[in-house]
Amino acid sequence: MPELVHLDVADDVATITLDSEHNRNALSRQLVTELGEHLATADLQPGAKAVLIRSAGRVFCSGADLAEAVGDGMVEGARSLVALQLQIATSSKPVVVELGGPVRAGGLGIVGAADIVLAAESVTFALTEVRLGLAPAVISASLLPRLSDRSAADLFLTARTFDAAEAAGMGLVTRAVPDAELQAEVARVLADLLKGRPQGLRATKSLFNHDLVARIDTRGEQLAELSGQLFGSDEAREAMKEFLDRPK
């Protein structure tokens, strides 16, 4: 099968690109597996001091692959997403996420686990799980530490769409910048990171991610089981089937 995630190491940066345009970079088993494998490779690259996760195409991530979820359930998929968040948070290198397109549902787990997130002002976000009889269970491990209780309740329960400026204001992303300036801002941040020594970057990252890592370690399995139960319920299966069957 064609590769859905690409890794390129150049100029001291490991760039990982999500490239599954046919399903808007949905978190299929293949995409999550390849993303994890490339993160592991990047972490071991002596020629890379930072990791950049970006997307090809117009959407960063559309969330869970509902076609897979309806057919096979999501317990193992949920465990994989827990592991992916932990992998990003514990990487020995700073992980930067570049958002040039929309992010939905499970894709926000990548955002929550990353160290620095830069978004174009046109980018929109939504945690749409409740509309399918689900909950943002697994990704809550990395999102709740980023959000106030009030913000989390608003976004998780209403499933409303919000923009990059609001996401930055609530601490979900680091900065929102005009679309035309996104590439320059990413380059500037990476240039600053590359001035750091590997030991300093590694030790500093472990300081501010201590509580996040502990939360994922402690709650991860419980959240994965809850996610699997919800995805396997009759209510969610009916809602997902209706979503998949709607006119495109």
- Six-digit token string for 25: 């970079």
d(Cα 131, Cα 143) in Å, to the nearest integer? 19
d(Cα 20, Cα 5) in Å, to the nearest integer? 8
Domain total for the chain? 1
Domain that holds residue 60: 5-180
Q: Which of 105, 84, 106, 86 is nearest to 16 (CA)?
A: 84
Residue 236 inside a domain? The answer is no
Residue type, 104: R
pTM, to two decimals: 0.97
Residue 123 inside a domain? The answer is yes
Chain centroid offset of residue 222 CA: 19
Residue 200 inside a domain? The answer is no
- Give pLDDT tens digits for 117-132: 999 999 999 999 999 9
Residue type, 230: L
d(Cα 177, Cα 164) in Å, to the nearest integer? 8
Is 242 catalytic? The answer is: no
Residue 15 inside a domain? The answer is yes
Q: Which of 55, 74, 53 is nearest to 64 (CA)?
A: 74
Which listed residue (3, 129, 235, 238) is catalytic? 129
pLDDT band at 233 (very low <50, low <70, confident <90, very high): very high
Predicted pLDDT of residue 70: 84
Average pLDDT over residues 29-48: 97
Residue type, 11: D
Residue 108 inside a domain? The answer is yes
Residue 95 inside a domain? The answer is yes
The rounded mean pLDDT for the chain is 96
Residue 69 inside a domain? The answer is yes
Query: Over 70: is that where the pLDDT of 27 sits?
Result: yes
Q: Which of 204, 198, 195, 227 is nearest to 109 (CA)?
A: 227
Residue 213 inside a domain? The answer is no
Segment holding 38, helix H or strand E: helix 29-43
CATH number at residue 45: 3.90.226.10
